[in-house]
Amino acid sequence: MTELLKTPLFDEHVALNGKIVPFAGYEMPVQYANGALREYRFVREGGAGLFDISHMGQVRVSGPDALAFLQYVTTNDVSKLAAGQVHYSALLNESGTFIDDITTYKINDTAYYLCINAANRHKDVAHLQQQAAAFDVCVADESDATTLLALQGSAAQTALQPLVDSNLEPIGYYKFAQVHINGTPAIVSRTGYTGEDGFEIYIPNAIAVDVWKLLLTNGAQPIGLAARDMLRTEMGYALYGHEISDAVTPVEAKLMWITKLDKGNFIGRAAVAERKNAGPQKRLIALKLTGRGIPREHYPVFADGALSGEITSGMHSPIAGGVALAYVKPEHADSGALSVEIRGRQIPAERTTLPFVRSNVRR
């Protein structure tokens, strides 16, 4: 059995009475003493929630062919990025299905930074390095040397600004700046996974504990995995292994907006174009229960009484009630009476739009 890894902040989580669980190969806090619901409310209701997401992977891509390489291995159009911009993208295989979803940061014309999912880190890096052999480019896995924090909520900027040597105000949504935190180079981006204003902060491991403690002193509160999943589900954000996987293409996952078929050739392009022309094999929808119950992952979804698909992510939202993302047969995505089977009972549901609750990201 492979031993679970620990982030540089593991001892801080234990000291704060974090409930530690296995997650993506790491020992991670699922919640702290106040519980996931209070953590969720703190982020949604004006606080600054502090998440340790150092289990995520960080990859630096540099060299004369960096742009051409990323255009070939990712779905979004990297040529549209200006220095200091970030975009959401994906790595596909030749079958057009997902290896991973990622974010791409443009540092300059020959240097980029990728954030990848924890569970896919080694697979992603191996894939990228294999493809890099055909380009004049270096792919460096910096994950083990990097701590990644997410500071989310309307009070995030107030908590972070005293630590940073430059003004955070000009950093717009999906933009980033190279700054110094306590005299140490860092990357701060106005991005996140919660639907709230906030930042993701890339720092060397050596200053991780100090930065964590300073942010708590400035009013931030630690938030665990459970609240993070509640927040992202309310936004309808995709999660690898749930809404996206190596079994679906961007056509099914409603992610053609990050899949630019007109930018030129890239891995999986032909397969995605074919699927788009043929039509999806299933479709991702957002639904809301109109009866009482909590929709959970893998619960069956019925349309007009016939089994149509299953839930990929679901929860009871304190704001919106029972909400879920689900894959259903294409013919049921827009019509048919929906229901979710919960403990042997059919609970009626209706199609709805995303996000399930209002987003407060700063555009």
For 259-298, what is each residue's pLDDT tens digit? 999 999 999 999 999 999 999 999 999 999 999 999 999 9
Split at pLDDT 50, 70, 90, the class of 170 is: very high
CA-closest candidate to residue 194, choices 148, 146, 227, 170? 227
Question: 5-57+144-235 with 282-352: one CATH topology?
Answer: no
Q: What's the pLDDT score for residue 70?
A: 99
Nearby residues of 282 by Cβ (< 8 Å), 6 or more positions away: 248, 252, 309, 327, 328, 329, 330
Split at pLDDT 50, 70, 90, the class of 245 is very high
Mean pLDDT over all residues of the chain? 97
What's the angle, vertex CA 263, arms to CA 261 and CA 267, rounded to 5?
65
> Over the stretch 119-138, which tens digit does the pLDDT of each residue have?
999 999 999 999 999 999 99
CA torsion through residues 286, 292, 294, 297, sign: negative
pLDDT confidence of residue 221:
98
Label residue 145 by pLDDT band (50, 70, 90): very high
How far, in Å, are 5, 113, 161, 265 from residue 240 at the CA level?
A: 20, 20, 32, 24
- Return phi, psi of residue 33, to 5°: -60, -35
CB 43 within 8 A of CB 194: yes
CATH topology for 282-352?
A: Elongation Factor Tu (Ef-tu); domain 3 (2.40.30)
CB–CB of 311/299 below 8 Å? yes
DSSP annotation of 258 = G
Cα-atom radius of gyration of the chain, to the nearest Å? 21
Q: Reply yes or no on whether the pLDDT at 2 is more than 90.
A: no
Q: Which fold has domain 5-57+144-235?
A: Gyrase A; domain 2 (3.30.1360)
Q: pLDDT (tens digit, 9 = 90+) per residue, 56-102?
A: 999 999 999 999 999 999 999 999 999 999 999 999 999 999 999 99
Q: Where are the domains of the chain?
A: 5-57+144-235, 282-352
Which two three-digit tokens encode residue 73?
């291995």
Residue 312 has pLDDT above 60, yes or no: yes
Q: Give the pLDDT confidence score for residue 144 in this predicted structure.
A: 96
pLDDT of residue 123: 97
Above 60 in pLDDT, residue 1? Answer: no
In this structure, what token pair is assigned to residue 162? Answer: 């005293």
Percent of the chain with pLDDT over 70: 100
What pLDDT score was predicted for residue 182? 87
Q: For the residues 2-23, what does the mean pLDDT come to?
A: 96
pTM of the model as a whole: 0.96
